[in-house]
Amino acid sequence: MSLIEIENVSFTYHGNKKALDDVSLSIEKGEWVSILGHNGSGKSTLSKLIVGLLKPQQGVIRVGGITLSADTVRDIRKKVGIVFQNPDNQFVGVTVRDDIAFGLENLQIEREEMIERIEHYAKKVDMYSYLNKEPHNLSGGQKQRVAIAGILAMKTDVIIFDEATAMLDPEGRERVMEYMRALNREGTTIITITHDMKEAVLSDRIVVLKDGRVLKSDKSENILKDKATLEKSNLELLLPLEIMHYLNENGIENPSLKEFLWQLSLNG
Amino acid sequence: MAIKFERVGYEYKDIDGKGYLALADVTLNINKTGEFITLIGETGSGKSTLAQHMNALLTPTEGRVHIFGMKISRETRKSKNLKLNPIRQKVGLVFQFPEYQLFEETVENDIAFGPKNFGVSEAEAKERAKKMLNIVGLDDSYLSRSPFNLSGGEKKRVSIAGILAMEPDILVLDEPTSGLDPLGRNALLEVFYDIHQKLDKTVVIITHDMNTVYEYAKRVLVMREGNLVYDGNPTQLFSRKNVKSWNLDVPDILKLRRALEEKFSITLEGETRSKAQLMAKIKEALR
Ligand SMILES: Nc1ncnc2c1ncn2[C@@H]1O[C@H](COP(=O)(O)OP(=O)(O)OP(=O)(O)O)[C@@H](O)[C@H]1O
Ligand SMILES: Nc1ncnc2c1ncn2[C@@H]1O[C@H](COP(=O)(O)OP(=O)(O)OP(=O)(O)O)[C@@H](O)[C@H]1O
Ligand SMILES: [Mg+2]
Ligand SMILES: [Mg+2]
């Protein structure tokens, strides 16, 4: 049994064409999976289905063996945390502190532990001095960092990051990626939705969506060099692999250069 | 000079009444034509705040901004003679969060709103809406959709189309490519570059993507803690040792080039600011 099982799931927003069309996908415990695909391919819809914010019109979703339904959704949300694509949709508190506290209150964490976690995770994302600020009055990147801290503090078994680093500066993005790596090593199952191949290469597996369907799901190192698949869903090769492709097309044989380019790609 | 910042400071007021200085003593000139500028810098450094001064959405709390000859300061904002509409028409600003910009019932009305507001006929505004929607990579089926019921990247595209439809003299885009798929990002950067190149307009892009900076910018502005700390060209910027200390990074092309030069003890000649240039140089070096 996989930790997350998605079986033949379809979803249509009222009056529109299918946002997800017969999607089946399993995610193992401790796995790190990236979900990639063109704008509107269904990535956010899929993530909202996994946490029970949307209900599939067809198919079944199971988390840890429990079938998602109105009765189980509360329990499943304690296991699966999600950082939304738009951090404004995440904020409920008047201050950054309240906001991080909110998720912890839902988990019935004790007061002392709560205070400890709030401070720890605020420091982790470098927002400690902003704890008393209003989340809505922060810069774009600061909002994203607060949204990330709020979910990290909940220490859920699974965390979904929906383009959660899109507005961070290079240094901040690097730090969040480091942190994802550390969490994953400690056993947290991670799902990252991204357009950035440099982030995707860090994960175990890449799932490429196109027009609401799974175009391909394979080990990251296989998808990484699969130019045809990537291009079908508006994605591009990492720069070293694009160069490699160019060398091949021009009949340039240079094994040591190619090996070097491949190694560079694997390091993101 | 189209936009001129003179010792501009801006202080936000928090709920508790405490002030927060987001801009400090910024002096800056932006030409009416011919500029392609990227505005970069760490999270919270004041980029969006600076951008909102470029079309008078914010009024400086210190100093003044001149926009097409109109002086924006605490004093002038009190005067009834200050007309902001012409400024908003001349300087188009795309927000960092598209949700702050979209408000009409349909995508078509949303894009057509700006031009109509500035006196363009209904028919012409609708014509432009359709054209701009296609330019940002969405087909006609989106015209009747609600701008709120779209994916993140689709919202971003519609918000960009709305400003393009106003045909402003200066285009200011706050992280226009974050959340776009790579094909869309490349295509839109080309659209912005075309507007700059073919119509000789000035474009200002806020971004965290160093590749965009390196491949497109003629001029780079770097913000740090409310201060403008660099105003110059990208080549010089990325050859500085302290780019990392500004929370910036080295562009992929440059990183790869340096790695290759070191690993294979070669020196590539000349600048390689595009992938095509880099590929050509590598091919040359392998001969
Ligand atoms: N609230 C909504 N109402 C109606 N249609 C929607 C809604 N949200 C998304 N859609 C549509 O469903 C499809 C999938 O959207 P989704 O947000 O899942 O895409 P995505 O892969 O996350 O895209 P992006 O990369 O732009 O964030 C798109 O065609 C979109 O227009
Ligand atoms: N409405 C507001 N009220 C109070 N402080 C604010 C407000 N908006 C922004 N700030 C603060 O002003 C500073 C500059 O914010 P700004 O949005 O200009 O940053 P930015 O450079 O655009 O950052 P990012 O890359 O994260 O978008 C930040 O420290 C932020 O917390
Ligand atoms: Mg999305
Ligand atoms: Mg900003």
For residue B264, list chain A residues with Cβ-Cβ distance below 8 A: 257, 260
Please report the residues numbered 78 through 137 in chain A whose beta carbons come closer than 8 angstroms to any beta carbon of chain B: 85-86, 88, 132-134, 137
Residue B281 dihedral angles phi and psi, to the nearest 5°: -65, -40
> What 3-state class would DSSP assign to A60?
strand
Question: Residue B1 CA to chain centroid, in angstroms?
Answer: 18
C-alpha dist (Å) from residue B261 to A114, A257, B81, B105, B122: 51, 11, 61, 55, 58
DSSP-derived pairing of the beta strands A213-219 and A205-210: antiparallel
Protein residue closest via CA to atom 27 of ligand 2:
A140
Domain residue spans of chain B: 1-82+169-244, 101-167, 251-287
Check if A257 contacts B (Cβ < 8 Å). yes
Instruction: Report pLDDT for A232.
Output: 98
Report the predicted TM-score, pTM, of the whole model to 2 decimal places: 0.97
The span from the CA of B123 to the CA of B104, in Å, is: 17
Contacts of B175 in chain A (CB under 8 A): 140, 167
Q: Per the domain annotation, does A246 fall within a domain?
A: no
Residue A258 lies in a domain: no
A40/B151 CB distance under 8 A:
yes
Kindly report, residue by residue over A54-88, the tens digit of the pLDDT. 999 999 999 999 999 999 999 999 999 999 999 99
The predicted pLDDT at position B101 comes to 93
Do the bridges between strand A18-27 and strand A4-12 make them parallel or antiparallel, or are there none, so unpaired?
antiparallel
Q: Evaluate whether A149 touches A100 at the Cβ level (below 8 Å).
A: yes
How far, in Å, from the CA of A181 to the mean position of ligand 1? 28
Report which ligand 2 atom has the smallest distance to the Cα of B23.
14
Cα–Cα distance for residue pair B16/A263, rounded to 1 Å = 52
By Cβ distance, the residue of A166, A174, A243 closest to B279 is A243
Please tell me the distance between residue B213's alpha carbon and the centre of ligand 2 in angstroms. 21
DSSP β-ladder status, B36-41 and B62-67: unpaired
Q: Domain containing A8 — which CATH number?
A: 3.40.50.300
Q: Residue B97: which of A37, A140, A260 has the nearest Cβ?
A: A140
Residue nearest to atom 10 of ligand 2 (CA): A138
For residue B181, the ligand closest to its alpha carbon is 1
Does a structural domain hold residue A215? yes
Chain A contact for B43 (CB, 8 A cutoff)? yes
Q: Is residue A267, in this structure, part of any structural domain at all?
A: no
A264 touches chain B (CB under 8 A): yes
Q: Which residues of A touch B154 (CB under 8 A)?
A: 39-40
| Residue A254 in domain | no
Please check whether residue A110 lies inside any domain of the structure: yes
Q: Is residue A83 part of a domain?
A: yes
Cβ-count burial of A160 within 10 angstroms (0-12 exposed, 13-18 middle, 19+ buried)? buried
Instruction: Quote the number of domains for chain A.
Output: 1
Evaluate whether the domain defined by B1-82+169-244 bears CATH number 3.40.50.1970: no
Q: Is the ipTM of this complex over 0.85?
A: yes
DSSP H helical ranges for B11-121? 47-53, 74-78, 85-90, 107-117
pLDDT digit string, tens, across residues B234-276 = 999 999 888 888 999 999 999 999 999 999 999 998 999 999 9
Task: Verify whether the Cβ–Cβ distance B43 to A264 is below 8 Å.
Answer: no
Q: What is the pLDDT of residues B108-123, one digit of tens each?
A: 999 999 999 999 999 9
Which one, of B112, B89, B202, lies nearest residue B162 by Cα? Answer: B112
Residue A267 pLDDT > 90:
no
Q: Which residue segment(s) compose the domain that A64 sits in? A: 4-237
The answer to whether the Cβ–Cβ distance between B184 and A44 falls below 8 Å is no
Instruction: Please state, as a whole number, how many other Cβ atoms lie within 10 Å of the Cβ of residue A225.
Output: 15
Give mean pLDDT, residues B42-70.
97
In-domain check, residue A29: yes
